[in-house]
Structure 1
Amino acid sequence: MPSAPRPDDPAVGHLSRRRFGQLAALGLAGAGAGAGSFGLASPAAAAGDDAQAHYDRARRLAGNDPVLRALASALAPERGEFPRPSAPAPLKLFDNLAFLSAGWVSAMAVLTEDGIVLIDALTSPAEAESVIVHGLRELGARPETIKYVVATHGHGDHIGGAQYLADRYGARVLMTPADWDLVARTDPDHAPARDLDIADGQRLTLGGTTIHLHHTPGHTPGTVSPVIPVRAGRARHTAMLWGGANPPGTPAELRTYLTSLRTFRHRTRRAGADVELSNHPNDHGLQRAEQLRADPGGPNPFVLGRRRTDRYLAVMESMLRGRLADAS
């Protein structure tokens, strides 16, 4: 069973008694303020701001790093749709983290002693069965122990299999209120039944593993970006996953996206994040998975280290500032 937070924990002090009771029963506790916190001013494109200068800076930051170069390329204004590569075989990226991919969109399964927390649910019940359920079994994990499905945001390629998993295994589905509203408005026929809300900074604990869920609006109003503890043998790492890979198009939405990114960057620094993950193939992730599969005893290519992980977010910020300058 998930561990419950203490009522006197200052991190949950802002919750109502009724809401705390609901969360405590499920091992959920909110912490932190909104995505514009930490005194970060909302970014704006200055008059005469040179978009190309931002793009050039991002590419200088990326250098010859294949992960950072892939990100800069994915965020370039001339980029089209995400590529549609073939689905890779399932793979454990870490002892407690499984990669379950349809190729162009992926889910992550956090494996704990008391069950599984699934990050995203792919596009459909059929994909949930063929990629997630079969993939977990292939890796020696038990899909019937899926306790939670965390939706990074309310687009169909991330929530399409959620209701199937809820119906089949009793999994609880979590999403921010803003994106529960979004899917009810835009895709009611495929939306999972409304279940648990995610608050900014919320902690989801299962089997001694605590995942932090940060509200990072911009891609959608309720996008969430998780920070996940992972391990490989005796080594312990902290993974971050930016929840909304494709930036919006309007200046107002881009400013929101950038504010979220700046706040998330602050939080990942504070958490000591040294691993980068993505739910789309915009980060050389599929290639790194195959590298790990081919050489499981070698250095894990998903462990970037703290400085390189932070530089990943710096490249993203510079590319987004260029996009904002272009759009303004």
Structure 2
Amino acid sequence: MSFGPSSPSRRALLAAAALLPLAGREAEASAAAPKSAQSYYDRAAKLAGDDPVLRALVKALTPGLGMPTVKPLAPMKTFDDVAVLGTSFVQATALLTSQGIILIDALGSPDDAEKIIVPGLRSVGADPSKIKYVVVAHGHSDHFGGAQFLADQYGARVMMSRADWNLLATERPANAPKRDLEISEGHRLTLGDTTVAFHHTPGHTPGTVSPIFPVRWKGVRHTAMLWGGTAPPAATTDKRTTLSSVLAFASKMRQAGVDVELNNHGGVDNGLARIEELRAGSAGAGNPFVIGRSRTQRFMKVMATMLRGRIVQDQEANGGTSSAAAAAFPGRSTHVCC
């Protein structure tokens, strides 16, 4: 039997043939996509392997994790030009430039600033009166609480994204700093020999920012990132926003050649243990925060995978398993490298 070029039978066969590759791709994607939140968590654990930094991240992003016990943390220079000050729960990061200090986050209260940040800087050989900028990574009290004290005491300028300044204006929390400088996407702050690039990474809060900046270890230059807000937000839509931020920031990291991973909560990335390695000298000549470009990208991929699991878990809880996989892949064309 033969078909004419315009016969209905021929058109039907051609249409069916055209659909075969699409159907194959959909079937392949369906087979490859995890079917449950646990599948994502398992995938993240496999990506993490035996890497203590990545395993800590998986644990931190696993649902149901309780708040850690807060303990004192002795100040420590983690690089030639970086000091970490705070507690076992939250830390402020001081960038020690040739013209003063850029402080990323300010702990939870004026008392914290006075009794932890100020003496902590002095103990590592830095002068707290040289704090020129206090950068608030996001608008939660454990990050902005000491900012106004430092502004009043030393004339430091306080920086935050517009969205989180607005958040504080709406919520009016205790110890909120007076509105000052706004951080815009791609904003670059130069102080002395250090330039910090800020990127919006909303989700944890509407205006969370994550900086990329140079650091030196034993005189050798590296490029660091500091993820501004790790704990997944409650709302599914905000989790999707966080996932999109992870993917976008991973691309910025790759472009900048980031090989150092930092966080303002050292419990989520094995940072506390790495600080103690440096303190004890057990890291040898190396620096455990210099994890290399590939591992920093894998860090972001593990975070993205865990967030996808959290999104699907929300869908499962609402009886939406049929659309869970789609919900976990916003902007799927965005590439995150590993």
Which bracket does the TM-score occupy, shorter chain normalised?
0.7 to 0.9
Instruction: Find out whether 1:181 has 2:166 as its counterpart.
Output: yes
Q: CA deviation at 1:234?
A: 2.7
* 2:308 partner amino acid: R
SS in 1 for 2:73: coil
Matches within 5 A, 1:88-103: 88-103=73-88
**How do 1:233-312 and structure 2 match up within 5 A?**
233-280=218-265, 281-295=267-281, 297-312=284-299
Kindly provide the amino acid, as one letter, of the partner of residue 151 in structure 2.
A
Residue 18 (structure 2) pairs with residue 51 (structure 1): no
Amino acid at match of 1:107: A
Q: With the length of structure 1 as denominator, give the TM-score of the two structures.
A: 0.84
Relative to structure 1, the CA distance from residue 47 to residue 285 in structure 2 (aligned partners, 3 Å threshold; closer, same or farther) is closer
**5 Å matches for 1:172-251?**
172-251=157-236
Shifted more, 196-205 versus 295-304: the winner is 295-304
CA contact (8 A) 1:218 1:260 kept: yes
Question: 1:80 is matched with which residue?
Answer: 66
Q: Distance in 2 between matches of 1:169 and 1:84?
A: 31
Which residue identity does 1:289 align to in structure 2?
A: I
How big is the shift at 1:115? 0.2
Query: SS state of the match for residue 74, structure 2?
Result: coil
Separation in structure 2 between the aligned mates of residue 134 and residue 106 of structure 1, nearest angstrom: 14
Between the aligned partners of 1:319 and 1:263, the Cα distance in structure 2 is 16
Determine the C-alpha separation between the residues in 1 that align with 2:284 and 2:66.
36
AA of the residue aligned to 1:156 = S
Structure 1: which 4+ aligned runs deviate by more than 4 Å?
Answer: 46-49
Partner Cα separation in structure 2 for residue 279 and residue 257 of structure 1:
17
**Kindly tell me: are residues 48 and 286 of structure 1, through their superposed partners in 2, closer, same or farther at Cα, counting changes over 3 Å?**
closer
Structure 2 residues without counterparts, runs of 5 or longer: 1-31, 316-338
Q: 5+ residue gaps in structure 1?
A: 1-45
**Equivalent of 1:64, from 50, 63, 88?**
50
> 8 Å contact 2:225–2:261 — kept in the other structure?
yes
In the alignment, structure 1 residue 318 sits paired with structure 2 residue 302: no
State the distance in 1 between where 2:268 and 2:304 align: 15
What does the per-residue CA deviation read over 1:179-236, in whole Å, with 9 as the maximum and x for residues that have no partner? 0011122134421000000001110100021001110000000000011210012311
Letter in 2 for 1:135: G
Higher RCO (Cα < 8 Å, 6 or more apart): 1
| Equivalent residue number for residue 140 of structure 1 | 125
SS in 2 for 1:229: strand
Partner of 1:89, secondary structure, is strand
Instruction: Write the letter of the residue equivalent to 1:97.
Output: V
Q: How much has 1:299 moved relative to structure 2?
A: 1.5
The answer to whether the 8 Å contact 2:223/2:260 transfers is: yes
Q: How many residues are paired up? A: 282
Q: Is the 8 A contact 1:292 1:298 kept in 2?
A: no
Instruction: Tell me the CA shift for residue 298 of structure 1.
Output: 2.7
| Inter-partner Cα distance in structure 2 for 1:85 and 1:194 | 29
Q: Contact conserved, 1:150 with 1:174, CA < 8 A, in 2?
A: yes
Q: Does the 8 A contact of 1:176 with 1:199 survive in 2?
A: yes
For the 8 Å contact 1:216–1:222, the answer to whether it is kept is yes
| Matched letter for residue 89 of structure 1 | A
SS where residue 216 of structure 2 aligns? strand
Q: Specify the code of the residue in structure 2 equivalent to 1:242.
A: W
Checking the alignment, whether the CA contact within 8 Å between 1:249 and 1:327 is kept in structure 2 is: no
Structure in which a larger fraction of residues adopt helix = 2
Please say if residues 141 and 173 of structure 2, whose CA atoms lie closer than 8 Å, have aligned partners that are also in contact. no
RMSD: 1.5
Counterpart residue identity of residue 285, structure 2: G
TM-score (norm 2): 0.81
* Distance in structure 1 (CA, Å) of the matches to 2:229 and 2:298: 18
2:309 is paired with a residue of what secondary structure? helix
Measure the CA separation in 2 of the matches of 1:239 and 1:271: 9
The secondary structure found in structure 2 opposite 1:56 is: helix
Bigger Cα Rg? 2
